[in-house]
């Protein structure tokens, strides 16, 4: 028979001196067991690994990995293998902390709140733009520009823009030159607008200051105007239907001997010489050819009111004589090509000649007016333009317009 002896455990020895109470508590300090130490180390390793992972790069948006875990009320789950803690190493004493979420989760929550605050500030603060470019998205309305910010200078309208009137036309309207002359002067650098050199095709406003170089006026003064007594068989302008232009008669030998202008024929006088008006091929009388665009515009411009006088020999093609009512109709009331003619002065010069004084010159106007009232034109001669008469100038000869002669 075996007798068991129970060994009585010795009583705990009391430590010498007073006991050191635990920090923050009056209870004796608890020494964790090996299992508790391993669990604490695993939890710290889990938190350190989570903190080592970078947060979400998108500002103002928390990391999605923590959103669903926080909503579920659980700690992050790691699917990878856990590193085992050394079994023989004792865990350090765990210091008592205030109650709350683990330190890793608290730090992540603070980071998320900071990101959201920075995102809100960025959305409220307009980003400076460097240079022109399209807007990247709707943003807050911008206030007025600072008074110290430089303002853009107003752009000048380029030459040929749709603003204003063409410079050459303005010069013609002002009586400075013809369209052709104006373009020649601009191209030669003889024209300035508001102190700046003009260019071809430039447009000007109503208050533009136009300056002309004196050289242009000197050249203009040297341009000549020729008075020709055009005979039958010559056309006024370009050659047509085998008929020569009247300009071929402007030769040295055809200058009228009684020309008192003091000018003598020069080949340069034929340059840019153009007819200012027309006479039909079967009409005679005074024809003006000029190098001066101002005179051409004065005689044949749309607004010209210079009188032109004709002697017209006619024959009445109906019974009796021309009624007074038809004579009155020749003075005013006829229309050509759906255009009401301007009032004219028509009267009998002798038994078979009518005197016409017109202020316009439509194609074959006198012949068509006469046909409208039953008159046939047998001969037509122009004897005056403005205040310049044909006089005794013989057919086929010419003379220069004197400096004391003016058409209006």
Residue 174's contacts (CB-CB under 8 Å, 6 or more residues apart) are 210
In whole angstroms, give the CA distance from residue 32 to residue 29.
10
Measured CA to CA, the distance from residue 215 to residue 217 in angstroms comes to 5
Residues whose CB is less than 8 angstroms from the CB of residue 273 and which lie 6 or more positions away in sequence, other chains included: 224, 226, 247, 250, 289, 290, 291
DSSP 273: -
Q: Any catalytic annotation for residue 280? A: yes
Catalytic one of 194, 280, 352, 404: 280
Task: Name residues whose C-beta falls within 8 Å of residue 192's C-beta, 6 or more positions apart in sequence.
Answer: 198, 210, 211
Residue count (the chain): 408
Largest CA distance in the chain: 190
Backbone angles phi, psi at 234, to 5 degrees: -115, 140
Q: Is there a contact between 230 and 284 (Cβ–Cβ < 8 Å)? A: yes
Helix (H, G, I), strand (E, B) or coil at 197: strand
Token output for 392:
């005794």
- Please give the positions annotated as active site: 280
């Amino acid at each position: 028979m075996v007798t068991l002896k129970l060994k009585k455990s010795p009583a705990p020895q009391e430590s010498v001196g007073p006991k050191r109470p635990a920090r923050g508590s009056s209870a004796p300090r608890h020494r964790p067991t090996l299992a508790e130490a391993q669990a604490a180390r695993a939890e710290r390793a889990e938190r350190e690994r989570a903190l080592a992972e970078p947060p979400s790069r998108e500002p103002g948006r928390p990391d999605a990995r923590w959103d669903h875990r926080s909503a579920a009320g659980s700690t992050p789950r790691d699917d990878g293998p856990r590193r085992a803690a050394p079994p023989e190493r004792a865990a350090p004493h765990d210091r008592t902390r205030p109650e709350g979420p683990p330190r890793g989760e608290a730090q992540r929550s603070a980071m998320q709140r900071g990101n959201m605050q920075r995102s809100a500030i960025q959305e409220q603060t307009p980003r400076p733009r460097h240079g022109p470019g399209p807007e990247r998205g709707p943003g807050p309305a911008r206030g007025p520009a600072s008074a110290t910010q430089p303002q853009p200078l107003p752009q000048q309208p380029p030459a040929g823009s749709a603003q204003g009137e063409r410079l050459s036309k303005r010069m013609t309207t002002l009586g400075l030159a013809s369209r052709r002359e104006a373009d020649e002067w601009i191209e030669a650098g003889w024209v300035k607008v508001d102190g700046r050199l003009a260019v071809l095709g430039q447009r000007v406003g109503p208050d533009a200051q136009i300056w002309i170089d004196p050289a242009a006026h000197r050249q203009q003064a040297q341009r000549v105007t020729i008075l020709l007594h055009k005979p039958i068989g010559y056309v006024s302008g370009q050659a047509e239907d085998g008929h020569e232009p009247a300009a071929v008669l402007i030769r040295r030998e055809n200058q009228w001997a009684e020309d008192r202008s003091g000018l003598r024929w020069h080949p340069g006088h034929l340059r840019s010489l153009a007819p200012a008006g027309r006479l039909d091929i079967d009409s005679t009388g005074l024809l003006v050819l000029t190098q001066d665009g101002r005179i051409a515009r004065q005689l044949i411009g749309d607004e010209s009111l210079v009188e032109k006088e004709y002697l017209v020999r006619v024959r009445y093609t109906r019974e009796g004589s021309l009624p007074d009512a038809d004579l009155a109709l020749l003075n005013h009331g006829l229309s050509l090509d759906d255009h009401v003619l301007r009032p004219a002065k028509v009267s009998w010069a002798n038994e078979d000649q009518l005197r016409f004084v017109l202020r316009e010159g439509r194609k074959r106007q006198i012949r068509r007016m006469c046909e409208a009232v039953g008159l046939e034109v047998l001969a037509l001669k122009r004897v005056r333009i403005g205040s310049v008469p044909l006089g005794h100038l013989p057919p086929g000869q010419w003379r220069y317009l004197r400096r004391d002669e003016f058409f209006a």
